Amino acid sequence: MLEEEIIIIGAGPCGLAAGIALQEKGYNPLLIEKANIVHSIYNYPSHQTFFSSSEKLEIGDIPFSSIERKPKRHEALVYYRQVAKRRKLRIHSYEKVEKVNKSTDGFDVFTLSINGKEKAYHCNYIVAATGYYDNPNIMEIEGEGLPHVFHYFKEAHPFFQKKVTIIGGKNSAVDAALALEQAGAEVTVLYRGKSFSDAVKPWILPDFYSLVRQQKVDMVYEADVKKITTHSVYYKKEGKEHQVESEFVFAMTGYHPDHSFLHSMGVKTDADSGRPVFNEDTMESNVQGLYIAGVLAAGNDANEIFIENGRFHGEYIANSIEKQNKNQINRNVNM
């Protein structure tokens, strides 16, 4: 079994920030990432613009320069690659953590790499920074698993002159609608609410509303989606059933943390909010030595924690681990 002091599960921006904070305390953590660094950002739509300004996405005291105040997806990918390289973070990419067991003197971590190689590690501390973007919220309706139904939107071009239905009413749905209409798709948006969420980026709504007024996008509020078939989406509104012809469907219904993975490690979560139990001053969970970092700490409310505030979790974690190690040294000296 390979020995490590600290293992960070996940190499997104907040995982990288935690690694850097621990470096600055003299530790050399190992980051294990099932894909490659900042994989969630890689999965963003290719045209994505961040809500935050570039300086609020900075980690490791390394400046983030962007052409405009709010950077694009590709600029963020370049930036975080450079951060990982300049800070010489130890990252095992394309290696998935399959299981974590609490032992009497730390944790046993079992992984599987993309080439099928299994590894086992022992460490004193775990930092869970796995995010939530890999786990879409499932509507649990008939037809949701059909091959023309997607929970992620990447690029608009393949849907030129196609009938596309978007389900949802938050940022991802509005962004997809704008891009698809611009690429020549015939777009319908179905949303169960009476109006858009306050979390939608305010600068994109005027363009969207303009398209709706011009009847370039068909917007249906209070639409309760019931079924998806190979050719249509069926929904109810005001007690009546409707259908919209759909060659492709984007179910932009949000995402959630992997609760089962947290529970398998012994971390408790609130049944309603999905929020894990942790100390807000240290980020240590109810499992001693296991810390939470990034949006994972927000549970199901992905609008509570972003890169701009989750990047500071690493400092709390590093301070806590340093304090625990000093206390352990003092106990050993006094024995």
Q: Is 101 exposed, middle or buried, given 0-12, 13-18 or 19+ CB atoms closer than 10 A?
A: middle
Q: What is the pLDDT of residues 206-234, one digit of tens each?
A: 999 999 999 999 999 999 999 999 999 99
Q: What is the pLDDT of residues 235-289, one digit of tens each?
A: 999 999 999 999 999 999 988 888 889 999 999 999 888 899 999 999 999 999 9
Q: What is the mean pLDDT of the chain?
A: 93
Q: CA-based diameter of the chain, in Å?
A: 78
Residue 77: what residue type? Answer: L
The answer, as to whether pTM is greater than 0.95, is: no
Q: Which domains does the chain have, with CATH numbers?
A: 2-135+255-334 (3.50.50.60), 149-251 (3.50.50.60)
Going residue by residue through the chain (335 aa), what tens digit of pLDDT does each one get?
999 999 999 999 999 999 999 999 999 999 999 999 999 999 998 888 887 899 999 999 999 998 888 899 999 999 999 999 999 999 999 999 999 999 999 999 999 999 999 999 999 999 999 988 888 999 999 999 999 999 999 999 999 999 999 999 988 999 999 999 999 999 999 999 998 877 788 888 899 999 999 999 999 999 999 999 999 999 999 999 999 999 999 999 988 888 889 999 999 999 888 899 999 999 999 999 999 999 999 888 766 767 888 899 999 999 999 999 888 777 666 65
Q: How many CB atoms are located within 10 Å of the residue 303 CB? A: 14
| CB within 8 Å of 199: residues ≥ 6 apart | 170, 171, 303
DSSP E strands, the chain: 2-9, 30-32, 90-92, 95-103, 106-113, 118-128, 149-150, 163-167, 186-190, 217-220, 224-228, 232-237, 240-245, 248-251, 290-292
Q: How many CB atoms are located within 10 Å of the residue 136 CB? A: 17
